[in-house]
Amino acid sequence: MLEASHLSCIKKDRILFDGLSLQLREGELMYLRGPNGAGKTSLLRILSGLSQPSHGCVNWRGKPLDLQWYREMVYVGHKPGMSDTLTAIENLRFWCCQHAVAVRDAHILDVLSVLGLVGVEDIPCRLLSAGQQRRVALAKLWLKPATVWLLDEPFTALDVDGVSQLEAVMCQHVKAGGAILTTSHQPLSTSAGPLTFFDLEYRI
């Protein structure tokens, strides 16, 4: 479904990767591995359409990234990506509006409940713990019916239960025909489903 061809990325006069090609297929969970500075976040941002490669192209279903791609993709970065002054429900309401996701506040509250955030939905996000902020960011996976998930360190700050819950929903997503490309500093367990691997090396 998602195909990158001959991608190159240069940051601060250093080549992170060059001539990189990959394909992400339906029902696939791809684990993007590599040391810090290898370009994992840069690659995810290029694939999501948030950044442009120095060379190469990215296609979705055989066509350059377009509005349909943004409708069918959800990107969760390694940072929470939310306003500190807004509450959890306000942040998610704003995000859903940005991404043309039509949901009622009642559904957002249901998702926050599933993620163990009952009672903190009206608290400014700056007052939440790092783990709670991560759960708010991950709520996007429950709210947007996307085909492809691009996840950058999604397990950061999660406790054991949070990790298990995320791995379970990842497994459900790929079993339903969705696709996931994720990075992680911790190994994924078999609960997340069968993995394919894509490795990046640090280039001097």
Q: What is the pTM of this model?
A: 0.95
pLDDT at 12: 86
The pLDDT tens digits for 140-152 are 999 999 999 999 9
What are the Cα distances from residue 166, in Å, to 37, 45, 63, 99, 172? 25, 21, 31, 22, 10
Whether the pLDDT of residue 186 is over 90: the answer is no
Question: What does the DSSP 8-state code read for residue 8?
Answer: E
| Domain range summary for the chain, segments of one domain joined by + | 2-83+145-199
What one-letter code names the amino acid at 180?
A: I
Specify which residues 21 forms β-bridges with. none
Q: What is the mean pLDDT of residues 62-72?
A: 94
Token pair belonging to 190: 């078999």
Question: What does the DSSP 8-state code read for residue 150?
Answer: E
What are the Cα distances from residue 45, in Å, to 62, 83, 103? 19, 20, 26
The pLDDT tens digits for 9-65 are 999 889 999 999 999 999 999 999 999 999 999 999 999 999 999 999 999 999 999
CATH topology of domain 2-83+145-199: Rossmann fold (3.40.50)
Question: Dihedral (C-alpha) 192, 194, 200, 202: value to the nearest 10 degrees?
Answer: 50
φ/ψ (deg, to 5) at 14: -115, 135
Q: What percent of the chain has pLDDT over 90?
A: 90
The DSSP bridge pattern shows strands 55-60 and 179-183 to be unpaired
